[in-house]
Structure formats: structure tokens, C-alpha cells
Amino acid sequence: MKKTLFTLLLLVGLIGTARAQGTIKFGITGGLLNSDADIDLSLGNIVSLASIDAVNETGFYVGLITDFEVTDAFHVQPELTYGSAGDLSFVYLPIMAKYYILPNKLHIQLGPQFSFSSNLDDIKDAIRDIDGVLGTNSNLDDVLNTLGVELGFGAGFDITDKFMVQARYALELTDRYSGPLGGSLDIKGATLNVGIAYFF
């Protein structure tokens, strides 16, 4: 929690600096989303027993995007998007630091992404049998965390001042499972999004 709070405060500071020094652009974004979730079983997080590819679904994402120019080469890009793939749906808040390798054209991205689940049915289906076999019979709504913290990295290309294409991969750092099998069952996800953005 302290790390999350520190990260948010740092980003607020970066955005404040950007507002004072450079231009701000607002726009819309959307594209293709691939969502993947793996379930890892182990003996007390020591001996790995199995790794199950529980979910691998493709869908879409759509939302709002902002670009804060700190310097010509360094920008901060927050987004607020909704994504759906299979029976999974999330609200995403990526906050990417962008560094331009080619001025006003090619850039790389790195930063945190926060995800808030609104539907985890595919993951619930995948762990229901495991939960039952091991005898915990827990309420899956109570043991699956709705908030995840991820590390995102990717690249983008500014076609014009208004149009941008981007691709980003985000790897979950937190564990979605907090139930009685917490020492032996881990659920972590990953997302890949490829899309466009239009700035007004």
C-alpha cells in the first residue's frame, strides 16, 4: 500500500510539473486487447506443482487518453479505459512515462497500470474445481481481489499531431487470489493492447 501511495504521489508531481512546463492534449483511444491469466499451484510457494493457463481471451478496449509534455523528449500519458475479453472485464488506469527516441515520432513507454475488475467469471470457473478438490469450498467473490497493480511497457508512433498508434504489454505484480490456499495458489494476469489514439 505504501508503494502504491508513493507511486501515485510521484505521478501527481510529474503531472503538475508537466502542466507548468508543456502542452496538454486530451483524446480518445481504443483497440485490440488480449487478456491472459495463469494459476500457479505449489507447496508453500517452494515446490511448483503445476501452472495452468486459465484464461487467454481476445477482446477490445476503449477510453480516454491524456498527454502531458514535460520536455520535448519526455511526456507523461495517463489513460482511463474499459477492456473486455471473454468473460473478463476491467477498468484500466495506466500512467505511462514516454521517452521519444525519434523527436515527435517514435517513443517507448514504461509505468504502472492499475486494473479494477468488474467481471472475473473466467477466472472463477478456472479455480472452482481446484478449490473444491482441495476442500476449501470458499466463496470465490470473497477470495478474488478486484484491484491489481501491473507494470506496463511498450512503444508508440505519432503519425500526426492528432493520431498515434501504440502497443503495450502489462504484467501483473499483485496476486488476484487471497483465499485459504494463499500459500499454494497464485493468480496473476497479463494484458496486451494494440490500438490507436486520437487527440483533439
Tens of pLDDT along 12-37?
Answer: 555 555 455 578 999 999 999 999 98
Q: Which amino acid is at 43?
A: L
- Rg of the chain (C-alpha set): 19
How is residue 162 written as a grid cell?
492528432
**pLDDT 10s digits, 65-78:** 999 999 999 999 99
Quick: pLDDT tens for 169-194.
999 998 777 666 656 677 888 999 99
Domain 2-199, classified CATH 3.40.50.2300, yes or no: no
**Close Cβ partners of 139 (under 8 Å, ≥ 6 residues apart):** none
What is the identity of the amino acid at 46? I
Of the given ranges (37-46, 103-112, 161-170, 186-195), which has the lowest mean pLDDT?
37-46
Torsion of CA 166, 160, 24, 198, to 10 degrees: -60
Q: Where are the alpha helices (DSSP H) in the chain?
A: 2-21, 121-133, 140-143
* 3-state SS, one letter per residue, for 137-183: CCCHHHHECCEEEEEEEEEEEECCCCEEEEEEEEEECCCCECCCCCC
147 vs 123, residue with greater confidence = 147
State residue 88 phi and psi, 5-degree precision.
Answer: -110, 140
Domain ranges of the chain: 2-199
Average pLDDT of the residues in 132-139: 54
- The pLDDT-based confidence of 132 (bands split at 50, 70, 90) is low
